[in-house]
Amino acid sequence: MLLKNASPFAFEYSRIVNSKRHKGRDRVAAFLGRDTRVGVLALVVCFCQQQRTRVLCRSRQPGCPRRGPAPRLQPLEFPVHSIIDDSERHWDCLAERGSGTAGGEAVMRSRAQMTFDETEEALSRFRVSRELGFLTRCDMSKMHEYYRPWIDLCDNMVELIRKNQVQQAVLQLPLLTTDKLVTYEDWRTAHLLLVTMASGYLWSGNPKEAPFVLPRSISQPLTAVSEQLGIRPVICHASACLANWHLIDNNQPFSPDNLQLNAFTFLNSRGNHWFFVVTAQIEKDFAPCIYEIVRAVCFSIRGKLHYVDSALSSIVTCLNNASATMKRMNEHLSPKEFYHELRPFLWGYNEGSLKQNGIIFEGMEDMGHLKYGGGSAAQSSTIQLIDAFLKVEHTGAEKDFLIEQREYMPREHRQLLEWVEASTPVGKSTPGREQALEALRAFRCTHLNTVAQYILTQIEHPSSTTGTGGTPFMQFLKNVRADTE
């Protein structure tokens, strides 16, 4: 309402101060007395309009379109950079460039003046949904028919594994380009299809005899798609879970019983399906607090902290709901089936015969031997986001591993974590923080118990076991939980 009323007041103020018949000081005082808030805003707008000035980009980058002479400002055309900027090159227009993560991402220290509707804009910019959180709704039916060979191979994966024909089918694939990938969802779907074929090609046989070279029919488009998304060219949580679902019945609510996988199906059992749809439900459980966190940070940048309490309360609720969902895993998935049959397909390029030297991408030999880890719960942006908002500080090898896992996240999700880390309004003495930390500790205990049930009980030498992400997982999980104390 404030913004809608500003324009006529701005013009009236301009008429008053520019009129030679009036004493400016008295008339301005009378004008502001009508509505101080609107009057002050109008004063700023009109001053910018009269002076024909604008705030220049602090980055001082020569190529930034926000530098140089500014055009005449229209009423309500504010000289402030929005947090929403489609250009990756000019994120420094609203942030100080930091050292970033290993991937060189900028640390987001926002200097923008947030408006009341920019929470939704920020969600859009970071590709987060108020309803779904970090989940991405990908519709396989909307993929161009050109990519039918990828879709068909993934659809037939279970039968190809049964006949021991996966490698033969992959070698017969045509080399497709990415030219017909149009939407963001197309690119995410392509990554899912390609890593499904890669995992099937590598791990459908004896792990100790996995091929050392990934055929160009997969390696070349997978590299191009991964570069587009800012993500590793390997199976990861972002594809196997976040982009790997659709509703069975659109008229029914989101639930594990109403979800079907898009790809990454290797077993002729419900267990393969159940593992990922329960994980998707856990991500969905966190959607409300993701929205609350983004809103709290957006408003806190303007010095308004009244949404912090709501965010902290939402974190507690979402963590409790997610813990309850996680306990449903054993309804249709046994530890034996997960560990011995499904888990190998979650490996990256650092297990089995690839453990020592990694893998070569055919046609891209200049990349060298790749030893990327596989899918890991540490690649979920959700818990790292909560850590960032609550200022949970990890140290040593745990911190390094968690930062590394961000390279397996979509670029925009990684940027959201960096922005919240730099801008969170929560301090160690903030009311409600301790309750949120207690819920986070309980969630991590539930996850630790689940991992012990599905992995620890299935191995002969638990102390030497590493996770699919490539880290000694039990000690890692215990240390991360301890950091929440």
Q: Collect all residues with Cβ–Cβ distance below 8 Å to 461 and sequence separation of at least 6.
A: none
* Cβ–Cβ < 8 Å for 57, 81: yes
In the numeric block, which tokens belong to residue 224?
């191009």
- Cα three-residue angle 156-161-167, rounded to 5 degrees: 90
Helices vs strands, H then E, count in the chain:
19, 4
With H, G, I as helix, E, B as strand and everything else as coil, classify residue 370: strand
In one letter, which amino acid is 435?
Q
Give the orientation angle of helix 433-454 with respect to helix 381-390, to 10 degrees: 150
The residue whose two tokens read 């100790």 is 208
In the numeric block, which tokens belong to residue 172?
């017969």
Q: How far apart are CA 166 and CA 101, in angstroms?
A: 37
With H, G, I as helix, E, B as strand and everything else as coil, classify residue 23: coil
Give the orientation angle of helix 24-34 with respect to helix 2-18, to 10 degrees: 160
Residue 98, classified by CB atoms within 10 Å of its CB into exposed (0-12), middle (13-18) or buried (19+), is middle
How many CA atoms within 13 Å lie on the side-chain side of 115?
17
Residue 189 Cα distances to 154, 255, 293, 370, 381, angstroms: 12, 21, 28, 23, 19
378: left (phi over 0), alpha (psi -120 to 50) or beta: alpha
Annotated binding site: 447
Task: Show the beta-strand stretches assigned E in 81-232.
Answer: 213-214
Query: What DSSP string describes 233-268?
Result: SS--HIIIIITS-EES-TTS-S-GGGEE-SS---SS
* Cβ–Cβ < 8 Å for 321, 413: no
* Cβ–Cβ < 8 Å for 130, 291: yes
* Cβ–Cβ < 8 Å for 90, 64: yes
Q: How far apart are CA 388 and CA 382, in angstroms?
A: 10
Annotated binding site for heme b: 447
With H, G, I as helix, E, B as strand and everything else as coil, classify residue 200: helix
Q: How far apart are CA 251 and CA 260, in angstroms?
A: 15
